[in-house]
Structure 1
Amino acid sequence: MTSRYRFDERQRMIPVDPAGLAARVAASAPDDFAGFRQTGIELMLLGRFEEALDHLDRALELVQAGASDGLGSGEQRRISVWINLGDVYRYQGDVATAEVLYRRAVDAARQCAPVPELLSFAVQHLGKALAEQGRLAEARTLLAEAQHLRIAEGDAELIESTRIALITLEQSPIPLPPTIVALVGPAPTFSDEHEGQSGGVAFVNGGYWMKRGPRAAAEHERFEWLRGRGIRLPEIAAFEAEVLLLADAGAVSLAARGHDYDDAEPDSAVARPADGPSVGTIMGTLLRRLHSIPVDECPFDGRLDVTLAQARRAVLEGLVDAEDFDDDNQARTPEQVLARLRAERPDETDLVVAHGDYTSANVLEGAILLDVGALGVADRYRDLALAARDLGDHHSAEEVAAFFSAYGLDAPDQRRLDYYRLLDELF
């Protein structure tokens, strides 16, 4: 490994000869588990993350299909691919997804037939992911375990890798880029005592919202495109190196008017504005405005070819939480949901610029739109289904009726509402 790769300051492998590696990848024609896995790893090192995921997913499919190539048991190969997939997500900045995959690999490696080297890899990679999130105590414990395993095995190169990881541990979490530091300082205060608990967002210094990674980059791109198109958006304070900093808009989300409304104090954040429109009315009016933007102006694609491919990847990689399914889908597995989505796929003849995750949590008081990372051209029912479900579950049937009235739809298509609500189970 040392002849082909070296480690950067974050303990990630990078190729010594990227041009040579690219040529080798271009000439490759994988047709078995080993080939798809190796090519996937090399694509990751070249920064071609989507292609890397495609190849590693194919390797995982071959394992699940029972293909054999003499490279260890099926469970051992599955664990190795989980680690590799975790690396791809971590390298592109999605550390949360990487942690899920690494933890699964660690748990499985502890339970299957003892393979100390495989366990040490799983443990070390999980330790790095935790270090990048600033969870240093957990990271030290895991890296110390990896070091113990590797010393027992006697592999000098792996021992050195873990030693360096322990030395560099205090450099985590990943430093913020200069543009962000100029606004929040070198040691900002992160708070988790706030309403925004989803979407990988952190409240910083009491005045900013921060996201980082490829999802933050996607959201920044869409925010920039939406500006000037009649939609109220939060102010972008800064964006650099896939770190997005939004200025706090000084308003709570419409979700705050949900179940807690009846018990709220008169001046509580969840109290209904005295003379303002209802949640359903605000959401319907705003969505009608968004859906009126000409489709041919939108460069982002959220149609079923794209979303079903994303859903398939999430199912294959085990990233779908079936316990979070709606009540009427609790008896289904993610695989069954995906099969049904494919079998019942509707025509897409009514395309709009869709938000992709349109709920009351993603609209602030004052009709300010949030979390636009999934925005793209899609059937209008992608948004209508999620909004109707959210309003019905967390507000009232009256708010659902107000939503459709404000949107201007008298008789929504129940079949399409059901289909896009089912699709959301896999996201």
Structure 2
Amino acid sequence: MRTPTLACVPEGPVAVPDAVRRLAGDDAVTPVWRNVLGGLTFRISGPAAGSGQEAERFVKWVTAGTSGLDLDGEAERLAWAGAYVTVPTVLERGRDATGTWLATRALPGRSAVDPVWVARPAAAARAVGAGLRALHDALPVADCPFTWGAAERSARLSAAGRRDLGEVPAIDRLVVCHGDACAPNTLIDDDGTWSGHVDLAALGIADRWADLAVASMSLGWNYGDGYEAEFFDAYGITPDAERIAFYRRLFQLD
């Protein structure tokens, strides 16, 4: 089962891989996130060339041999989605014997789980809902080369897992899903409007409830109970208990 609380800001010393040091040069390197599979994200900050202002980049790092984290696939999804929505621009990607990395340009806004927004959970939940609706409406299903459907995801499960999952509900609306629409992956401007999306490694075509179920569930992890109504209202949909339950089970089992 997936344990969301393991995705967090790293505590204590974090070894910076040589590839990340090389990408940073003389700029400062700060570890900012460790995901549930052990992948690390670093912020690189320093003066922008010729401007005298601070510039930020982010580098994802995955140790060699780690399964379930495909940075090459994420880079391809970012390149495709970037023609339609605000997502990070890929600056560089590579691999060596120790691991793989993906460097992207920083986007405006703060993560929806930045302390500023944790202190304003109702506003953050609305921004996450509005941002997800905008993403679903903007990305063209007919042109998307990636899939994330329930059938293919459930096929990866054990026989026991498929029994626990149950029958796949009828499709409500096919969209290009984010693939990990948890609250931290929406960015929010200081005025409370969403400003972009990050971490699109699983982006693909699926029923929109695959995203809606997980995004709404993540509100409880990050803000506490009581904010799903704001999320669904901002998205513009009435909660569907059957589909929510199914796609939350799938998320936990997948």
TM over 0.5, yes or no?
Answer: yes
Q: Structure 1: 5+ residue runs without aligned partners?
A: 1-132, 136-172, 258-267, 316-334
Secondary structure at the residue paired with 1:239? strand
Q: Structure 2: 5+ residue runs without aligned partners?
A: 1-13, 46-55, 63-68
Which residue of the other structure, out of 245, 252, 269, is the alignment partner of 2:103?
Answer: 245
Who is 1:197 aligned against? 34
Counterpart-to-counterpart distance in 1, 2:82 and 2:223: 30
Asked if residue 297 in structure 1 is aligned to residue 143 in structure 2, the reply is yes
Which residue of the other structure, out of 197, 220, 243, is the alignment partner of 1:392?
Answer: 220
Secondary structure at the residue paired with 1:278? helix
Spell out the pairing of 1:258-297 with structure 2 (5 A cutoff).
Answer: 270-272=118-120, 278-292=123-137, 293-297=139-143
Which residue of the other structure, out of 155, 161, 167, is the alignment partner of 1:309?
Answer: 155
Higher normalized helix content (fraction of residues): 1
Secondary structure at the residue paired with 1:357? coil
Counterpart-to-counterpart distance in 2, 1:252 and 1:402: 19
Counterpart-to-counterpart distance in 2, 1:345 and 1:248: 37
Counterpart-to-counterpart distance in 1, 2:172 and 2:126: 26
Secondary structure at the residue paired with 1:338? helix
Who is 2:8 aligned against? none
Spell out the pairing of 1:337-376 with structure 2 (5 A cutoff).
Answer: 337-341=161-165, 343-348=166-171, 350-366=173-189, 367=194, 368-376=196-204
Who is 1:184 aligned against? 24
Who is 2:58 aligned against? 209
Q: Report deviation, 1:350.
A: 2.3
Counterpart-to-counterpart distance in 1, 2:184 and 2:221: 13
Which residue of the other structure, out of 89, 92, 107, is the alignment partner of 1:235?
Answer: 89
Who is 2:4 aligned against? none
Q: Report deviation, 1:270.
A: 4.9
Is the 8 Å Cα contact of residues 222 and 375 (structure 1) preserved in structure 2? yes
Higher normalized strand content (fraction of residues): 2
The structure that has the greater radius of gyration is 1
Spell out the pairing of 1:162-173 with structure 2 (5 A cutoff).
Answer: none
Secondary structure at the residue paired with 2:59? strand
Q: Report deviation, 1:222.
A: 0.8
Who is 1:413 aligned against? 240
Who is 2:52 aligned against? none
Spell out the pairing of 1:26-41 with structure 2 (5 A cutoff).
Answer: none
Secondary structure at the residue paired with 1:307? helix
Identity, in percent, stands at 31
- What letter is aligned with 1:304? A
Counterpart-to-counterpart distance in 2, 1:353 and 1:256: 26
Counterpart-to-counterpart distance in 2, 1:269 and 1:340: 35
Structure of greater relative contact order (alpha carbons < 8 Å, 6+ residues apart): 2
Q: How many residues align?
A: 213
